[in-house]
Structure 1
Amino acid sequence: MTTVPALAELNFVVIPLLSASHLIPLADMAKLLAQQGVTVTLVTTALNAARFTAAIDRAIRSGLLIRVVELQFKGKEAGLPEGCENHNDVPGLNYRRQFFAAIDMLQEQTEKLLEDMKPKPSCIISDAYVAWTADTADKFQIPRIVFDGMSCFTQMCMHTMYILRDQNKIPESGTFVIPDLPDRIEVTKAQLPPHFNPAGAVSIQDIRDKIRAAEKRAYGVVINTFEELEQRYVDKFRRLKAGRVWCIGPLSLCNNDNLDKVQRGNKGSFDKEDILKKWLDSWEPETVVYACFGSLGRITVEQFVELALGLEASGYPFILVIKTGEGQAPIEEWISKNGFEERTKERGLLIRGWSPQVVILSHPVVGGFLTHCGWNSTVEGISAGVPLITWPLFAEQFLNEKLLEHVLNIAVGVGSQAIVHLGEEEKFGAQVSNNAVTDAIKKVMDKEKEGNKIRKRARELGEMAKRAVEDGGSSHLNVMLLIKEIQEFQLNQSAKNALV
């Protein structure tokens, strides 16, 4: 007689894409699964493991069955510069092919590890962009669950857009309605992701096609969302995926420890927590604007000037996160020459490099989040119950903005009209004026008119998000259902093997 495998005997192998915005939610997911008693093996490389080792080590010390396995990243062999192990460190679009070639080189090492792994791997939870995991899952006869960091709303938009693309029905100019959605969503081709609106530089369409083909073979999909946020789109996406869609977010809410929140994504990345707390504590509730464009988002110095002046002219206290590293010298030069930091020091705080975003957003003084609409940032803002000022830059971010403004009604846009492809920022200069930034901030922060409605709705969604991850909540239940699905798959496999 075949028995149901015990939870600790289940081994969920988690394989993220080596990119900050993909590593962070999957590291959270590893903790979330381990909290239910299963074994989780997180596969990455040494430099990337360092980003979350402190938080994972604390989780292990608390008794969670998590292991971090480090692979050797063969970046040099693939043609990448020395020490370049993360998509955020890739110097320009011309190196994207080399980056994905290096990702492909991880397959052989991973499969050798899986052969000897104890407990045996029960399933692979893989970032959609690590396409070779489809073949690996087939080889080991285990399910591959895909994660690609988008909402169900955006998944459905993308699904429909592929159909339109294949039928050559995406208009070159003007707005059009995305068909077969529960809401009327209008877009232009210029606002669509590069799958439908390619960049002018090096094309990686063949890589995207390979990723999409592998995604179609997946056993199921995990989504960093919660059902109450977008129920009609969850239902539609589930029907598309034969019922195997598990909404288990917001994943950031698995971090209850304040140190975990601070170190989430980059250990010791902001060493002035006391200064930050003191600064935040000095303001009245819901008066501070937090502005951050995520780990990959970059803007030109011309566009930065409009952002900075727009924040200043709004009259509200603000935190502005500024990138560090390559290409940032002109921005720092403008800040210095213009005296921006000195001039706004009474009510402005500049954070350079990585920001403890979840900590900041959860502070009661934050009343608005100016965001690029990456899905991680979006769902973190929603979880904190904070209204959003939307400024999409690239990828699927314009679709996320449509969800926030036209479906959820918790955002005001700055009026950005077109995708600025990664690596091509200089071609676009400044698309958004400082006046547009100021106007959007004032609309959201105004506690009387439109801002009051948006604020109330944002608070409601924040409460829903917290309830979703609690015992008995929709996301908690989905985690349990996912584990049960893998238990039953393993049980059926054992029964089949017994008959052979």
Structure 2
Amino acid sequence: MANIKEKNGEDGTKLHVAMFPWLAFGHLVPHLELSKIMVQKGHIVSFISTPRNIDRLLPRLPEDLSTAINFVKLPFPGHNKLPEDAEATIDVPFHLVSYLKIAFDGLKNPLTEFLESSKPDWLLQDFAPYWLPPIETESTRLGIKNGFFTAFNGASFGILKPSGFKEYRTSPEDFLTKPKWVPFQTPIPFRLFESKPIFEGLMHESTEGNIPDLDRSTGVIDGCDIIIVRSCNEYEAEWLGLIQELYGKPVIPVGVLPPKPEERFKNTDTWLSIKKWLDSRKPNSVVYVSFGSEAKPSQTELNAIALGLELSGLPFFWVLRTGRGPLDTEPLELPEGFEERTAERGMVWRGWVEQLRTLNHESIGLLLTHAGWSTMIEAVRFAKPMVMLAFVPDQGLNARVAEEKEIGYMIPRDETTGSFTKEDVAKSLRLVMEGEEGKVYRENVKDMKRVFGDMDQQDRYVDSFLDYLVAHR
């Protein structure tokens, strides 16, 4: 089939693709990145979300792309347990996310109306709308095909029980060994401190009116036509092959969708201030600390991180997020005197930063991260080795796969409680930044950059994906 870039809408090969991500920025942004690429290749994209989320995404786009994508704002029903303007996980503490999912399910009717009126060729949905496949089955007369687009990597499917297998995991301890449906050796088995929230949250949802995430995912996967993974064969070919075998559906890697920082950034006062500080540091000397928009350490964990940074003696730039939304009543605080004691070599930044530009700065030597998949892609894109400290289960899985590939190092933690010390943090940072033992991480991430940072190679994944959509709409 001819490359999609050589086609145009006049010969009937232009697609209309609707995107419907879950209400978390770790999901919204990858869907937006794929949307950008599709419209740049001449296709029509309807990006469906809530009004506030779309308004927060628009500044991420150049003006030409913000008008090229058709943003569809569905009225968000909300919930009496949520703040009035809470429309994403970033707006609420963890214990209220289940109510956000219940409210999300209230988008069923307006989404159905949009699908019936717009008749897209394809709908790419996330893990949460388990109720979508029946709607699409009912609407087969509209000719809408659907795909499950996961913002996670292929290894994340290891936790999902495929059809045809009995769910044998009846306790947290059952997650400490490799799943029975995975035939090859893998580092994905969980630690006990990780498996408890998986067992209690993902499999046994206790909030009335909500259903477990694993049941949501199963409903979406069972009802979809294809599975689309934000990954590539060079990183995890065995996982991509296993997913297709287990689910009996086409599994299409769309590439890692590597970021292009030059697309949207301007020299704002904020960036110039940060750049001035980074410019004053030696190349590859600064620890960039960022745990994303979703992860929130406990106060004890934050203290260990801060005191570990201090103990390491390394320069650091820390993007600090102290709470999640207006109903988070337990904001985090740095240890008393920490900023004063480290003022000569560290900067704590409490606002938003241009992470791509920051990572790309020559002074950054490594990233201390929660191991979210998007952040990991960005780090590898700029050849920055990682020291990893996961806070939710999928992050621990990501971190172990990265450690197996020796592009990142996990801070040692107690297997049962997940606790770690300031000494663990300091030793890990020094090992990866300057230790002889850490040289392998510094070198291997450069090799992986040749994959994640090869824009032509990653673009070919998207072309193959779009070729499939055109051929099977």
Deviations 1:126-155 (A, max 9, x none): 111232332333324322111232211222
The one-letter amino acid paired with 1:412 is Y
Q: Which residue in 1 is equivalent to 2:103?
A: 102
**Matches of 1:479 and 1:106, distance apart in 2:** 29
For structure 1, which runs of at least 5 residues remain unmatched after alignment? Answer: 263-269, 420-427, 491-500
Q: 5 Å matches for 1:16-95?
A: 16-56=21-61, 58-60=63-65, 65-76=68-79, 79-93=81-95, 95=96
- In structure 2, relative to structure 1, the CA distance for the partners of 1:191 and 1:300 (3 Å cut) is closer
Distance apart, 1:395 and its partner CA = 2.6
The one-letter amino acid paired with 2:177 is F
**Matches of 1:116 and 1:231, distance apart in 2:** 39
Larger CA deviation: 5-14 vs 28-37: 5-14
8 A contact 2:172–2:199 mirrored in 1: no
- In structure 2, relative to structure 1, the CA distance for the partners of 1:437 and 1:107 (3 Å cut) is same
Question: Which one of 425, 429, 437 corresponds to residue 425 of structure 2?
Answer: 437
Distance apart, 1:226 and its partner CA = 2.3
**Matches of 2:440 and 2:114, distance apart in 1:** 53
Please give the secondary structure, in 2, of the residue aligned with 1:279. Answer: helix
2:361 equivalent to 1:374? no
Q: Which residue in 2 is equivalent to 1:479?
A: 462
Q: Which residue in 2 is equivalent to 1:343?
A: 341
Please give the secondary structure, in 2, of the residue aligned with 1:253. Answer: coil
Q: TM-score, normalised by structure 1?
A: 0.82
Q: CA RMSD in A?
A: 3.0
Deviations 1:38-80 (A, max 9, x none): 111111122101222123352437xx8411111111114x643
Q: Which residue in 2 is equivalent to 1:453?
A: 440
Q: Which residue in 1 is equivalent to 2:385?
A: 387
- In structure 2, relative to structure 1, the CA distance for the partners of 1:37 and 1:220 (3 Å cut) is same
**Matches of 1:198 and 1:401, distance apart in 2:** 20
- In structure 2, relative to structure 1, the CA distance for the partners of 1:249 and 1:412 (3 Å cut) is same
- In structure 2, relative to structure 1, the CA distance for the partners of 1:164 and 1:175 (3 Å cut) is farther
Question: Which one of 239, 263, 267 corresponds to residue 233 of structure 1?
Answer: 239
Distance apart, 1:202 and its partner CA = 3.7
Q: Which residue in 1 is equivalent to 2:403?
A: 405
Please give the secondary structure, in 1, of the residue aligned with 2:252. Answer: strand
**Matches of 1:384 and 1:310, distance apart in 2:** 25
- In structure 2, relative to structure 1, the CA distance for the partners of 1:281 and 1:384 (3 Å cut) is same
Q: TM-score, normalised by structure 2?
A: 0.87
- In structure 2, relative to structure 1, the CA distance for the partners of 1:206 and 1:169 (3 Å cut) is closer
8 A contact 1:193–1:394 mirrored in 2: no
Q: Which residue in 2 is equivalent to 1:11?
A: 16
2:446 equivalent to 1:463? no
**Matches of 1:91 and 1:451, distance apart in 2:** 36
Q: Identical aligned pairs, as a percentage?
A: 24
Distance apart, 1:242 and its partner CA = 4.0
- In structure 2, relative to structure 1, the CA distance for the partners of 1:142 and 1:275 (3 Å cut) is same
- In structure 2, relative to structure 1, the CA distance for the partners of 1:272 and 1:389 (3 Å cut) is same
**Matches of 2:102 and 2:284, distance apart in 1:** 46
Distance apart, 1:377 and its partner CA = 1.5
**Matches of 2:50 and 2:183, distance apart in 1:** 40
Aligned residues between the structures: 455
**Matches of 1:5 and 1:207, distance apart in 2:** 42
**Matches of 1:457 and 1:285, distance apart in 2:** 19
**Matches of 2:303 and 2:90, distance apart in 1:** 23
Q: Which residue in 2 is equivalent to 1:153?
A: 155
8 A contact 1:307–1:434 mirrored in 2: yes
8 A contact 2:230–2:257 mirrored in 1: yes
**Matches of 2:270 and 2:201, distance apart in 1:** 41
**Matches of 1:304 and 1:271, distance apart in 2:** 29
For structure 2, which runs of at least 5 residues remain unmatched after alignment? Answer: 1-7
Q: Which residue in 1 is equivalent to 2:411?
A: 414
Q: 5 Å matches for 1:261-410?
A: 272-325=270-323, 327=328, 331-332=332-333, 334-335=334-335, 338-406=336-404, 408-410=405-407
